[in-house]
Chains A and B, each alone.
Chain A
Amino acid sequence: MDNVVTLAHGAGGRQTSELIDKVFGRYFANPDLTADDAAVLDVDKGRMAVSTDGFIVSPYEFPGGNIGKLSICGTVNDISCMGARPKYLTCSFVIEEGFPMDKLEEIAASMAATAKEVGVEIVAGDTKVAGKGQVDGLFITTTGIGEMLPEANTSGAFAKPGDAIIVTRDIGRHGCTILLARNDFAIDADVTSDCAPLWEAVESMLDASKDIHVIRDATRGGVGTVLYEIAGQSNVGIRLDQEKIPVDPAVKGVCGMLGLEPLYLACEGALVVVVPKDDVPAVLDALHRGKYTSNAAVIGEVVDDMPGSVMMRTEIGSETLLSQPAGELLPRIC
């Protein structure tokens, strides 16, 4: 096979079949993976959760993962947050002409490994090749289907005054990793992305508490954006304890250099969970035994004053508002 992807691989002919068989078929093989126009799947009674997400990340490889792993984790985590067991995924690739074949294989392999870890099957896919410069490396879109656990009932609108706010690990790792990997600011630090599939963590929490109000995946906008969304949807205030928010020292150092707020750095393996205070010990205990959630911590509480706002108790014992999400993350220097 060629050592780079060419336009012919996207033309639908022999080379397309070859690419699908030798790369995707080989790694994604499972009984439900279709060779026809659509996958035909068995569904149980009950409700399903469906989600779709597109992945564009530059660079496509970074410490702790690559775009393939990210594309599985992102959709798996979205479904998991609803309390649904991820069952099936589809994936659609748009690949830039000239993309190295061995890198494509690496990406497919890590998608397969991540899917296997979660127990989700990739059942259908699509491949397109775009001309040089029309795409930055490759874009992947995944769609997932999950089976709702009958007792799960979570939503960003269900936070209630008195609830505790938990993050399932230290925050801001993915955003920091990508920032460093782009090398725009010539900073060096040992930080790896938190990119991880979190179904197991969600399942263990749902097992530990029958009354989890909110589970949200803190991705692009970071934990801060999710908290503002929850405060808005539930029409409640949120009060954080600045000192309790877990941040890796190196992430803190990078943020200090560039004047960034870790609460607004992207995560790809951290959840924000809202639970009644009484359930905190059981939920934390379950999380602390998990593979990706061993430093989960309570970072604040839901309150009834200041609806729609996120406040922060500071190191001097006063209170301030967390600045609101501001779109593009820009380093503040002068």
Chain B
Amino acid sequence: MNEQALKAKAIIENYSGPELRIMEVCGTHTHEIFRMGIRSILPENVNLISGPGCPVCVTPVGFIDEALMLALEKNVTICTFGDLVRVPGSETSLAGARSQGARVQVVYSPLDAYELARDNPDEQVCFLAVGFETTTPAACIAVDKARENGVDNFTLLTANKTMVNAYRALKGSADAFLYPGHVNAITGTSACEKLAEEGIYGVVAGFTASELLTAIAVTITRLTEGKPFFENCYPRVVTREGSVKGMRLMEKVMEPCDAEWRGLGVIPDSGLRLNDEYRNFDARFRFDIPEIRGKGNPACRCGDVLQGKCRPSDCPLFGKVCTPQHAVGSCMVSNEGTCSAYYQYDFILQQARQQAAQK
């Protein structure tokens, strides 16, 4: 760790002001914060909340059900990021569908799904397009190539989301946000500057130990100063204008829509879907998928957890029927889900401490 990061760490550890709530809204931030044990160096009055930044956690049950219908009833090969394979739908998961004979292929990139379609013209191939502005451009490149090269057996099932209106919906859940650096790499930072004028504050944060520590230190300092702020703490990757080509591409291929966020409900103008020009590559249109309302477990409190309204341990399912091995809610599924991280760290820690005390 470099000298500046040590300084940042000292600022964080020595903070003694009023309670601060800082929300990270990126699953990889949650993951890295967990992996580097950053929570264990925070003073008690700095509360780091894991917000709705993991696409797996915010993808509604109905989306998984749509994918299952494509795989099991429409004979479509599903290409997906590994993240989604174990997420429970109403009845089963993609892993469950695979054991029933469905073709489910884990890919690294939407472009790999496109190539699979191109090389197997007799097979319908659908990519499950989840993710935020970081991931959406790659899906747009794939579908644009499919249209250009007449690869008509390729489709997207879209659940792409955009962050800005989610911050607005979450205003009040936190004093400041750690903005997801790789989203801003594409979108740039002008939207965040505008948010600061609306009273929504935050800093763009990177992902290494020194980047996360410096971003948190800057946030604490600015909050203490009590003035509106926005800072880019990830300047080696994020510029003010972002990826102009990436933004143009998304505008060319997609259009804004309202989107359902698992646990949060519908947030207006917070999603992207294929526009009319690309409608034929939309799996819902091509395969005439009816509207599906997924059935999550009604007792699951993932939504409250995502908004920092309750701790995972306040949920009646947590640690009892809902564990990383048998996830009920989406926050337990992916390793960076808040409940999963909490289960694997705090909960186990407490159990072990209790055991040790009894000994």
Q: Give chain A residues whose Cβ lies under 8 Å from the Cβ of B56.
A: 334
Q: Give chain B residues whose Cβ lies under 8 Å from the Cβ of A326.
A: 324, 335
Interface presence of B69 (CB below 8 A): no
Cα–Cα, bound, A307→B356 (Å): 8
Binary A-proximity of B33-55 (CB < 8 A = 1, otherwise 0) = 01111101100000000000001
Q: Which residue of A lies closest to B359 (CB)?
A: A307
Are A315 and B106 in contact, CB atoms less than 8 angstroms apart? no
Are A334 and B41 in contact, CB atoms less than 8 angstroms apart? no
Cα–Cα, bound, A314→B41 (Å): 12
Residue in contact with A334 in the complex, picked from B36, B130, B349, CB distance below 8 Å: B130
Are A331 and B106 in contact, CB atoms less than 8 angstroms apart? yes
Q: Give chain B residues whose Cβ lies under 8 Å from the Cβ of A323.
A: 335, 344
Q: Which residue of B lies closest to A320 (CB)?
A: B37
Closest Cβ–Cβ distance, residue A254 to chain B (whole Å):
11
Interface presence of B86 (CB below 8 A): yes
Are B37 and A316 in contact, CB atoms less than 8 angstroms apart? yes
Q: From residue 159 to 218 of chain A, which have CB atoms closer than 8 A to chain B?
A: 184-187
Q: Give chain B residues whose Cβ lies under 8 Å from the Cβ of A312.
A: 37
Interface presence of A40 (CB below 8 A): no
Q: Which residue of B lies closest to A306 (CB)?
A: B352
Q: Which residue of A lies closest to B82 (CB)?
A: A330
Are A309 and B348 in contact, CB atoms less than 8 angstroms apart? yes
Are B324 and A185 in contact, CB atoms less than 8 angstroms apart? no
Binary B-proximity of A279-309 (CB < 8 A = 1, otherwise 0) = 0000000000000000000000000011111
Residue in contact with B355 in the complex, picked from A307, A319, A328, A333, CB distance below 8 Å: A307
Interface presence of B334 (CB below 8 A): yes
Are B344 and A321 in contact, CB atoms less than 8 angstroms apart? yes
Are B108 and A258 in contact, CB atoms less than 8 angstroms apart? yes
Are B40 and A319 in contact, CB atoms less than 8 angstroms apart? yes
Interface presence of A14 (CB below 8 A): no
Q: Which residue of A lies closest to B111 (CB)?
A: A186
For the complex, count residues of B whose C-beta is within 8 A of A: 44
Q: Give chain B residues whose Cβ lies under 8 Å from the Cβ of A307.
A: 352, 355-356
Q: Give chain A residues whose Cβ lies under 8 Å from the Cβ of B106.
A: 184, 330-331
Q: Which residue of A lies closest to B132 (CB)?
A: A334
Interface presence of A257 (CB below 8 A): yes
Most buried by A among B108, B131, B356: B108
Cα–Cα, bound, A184→B106 (Å): 8
Cα–Cα, bound, A312→B40 (Å): 12
Q: From residue 72 to 98 of chain B, which have CB atoms closer than 8 A to chain A?
A: 81-83, 85-86, 95
Closest Cβ–Cβ distance, residue A110 to chain B (whole Å):
31
Closest Cβ–Cβ distance, residue A309 to chain B (whole Å):
6
Interface presence of B299 (CB below 8 A): no
Closest Cβ–Cβ distance, residue A265 to chain B (whole Å):
14
Are A334 and B213 in contact, CB atoms less than 8 angstroms apart? no
Given contacts A185-B107, A316-B1, A330-B83, 17 further A-B contacts (CB under 8 A): A184-B105, A184-B106, A186-B108, A187-B108, A307-B352, A316-B38, A317-B1, A318-B37, A318-B38, A320-B345, A323-B335, A324-B324, A324-B344, A328-B86, A332-B336, A334-B130, A334-B135
Q: 7 nearest interchain CB pairs?
A: A330-B82, A318-B37, A320-B37, A331-B82, A333-B81, A334-B131, A185-B108
| A and B contact pairs by CB, cutoff 8 A, 27 listed | A186-B112, A306-B349, A307-B352, A307-B356, A312-B37, A314-B35, A315-B36, A316-B5, A316-B37, A316-B41, A318-B38, A318-B41, A319-B37, A320-B345, A321-B349, A324-B324, A326-B335, A330-B83, A330-B85, A331-B81, A331-B82, A332-B82, A332-B335, A332-B336, A333-B83, A334-B27, A334-B56
Interface residue ranges, A against B (CB under 8 Å):
184-187, 237, 257-258, 305-309, 312, 314-321, 323-324, 326, 328, 330-334
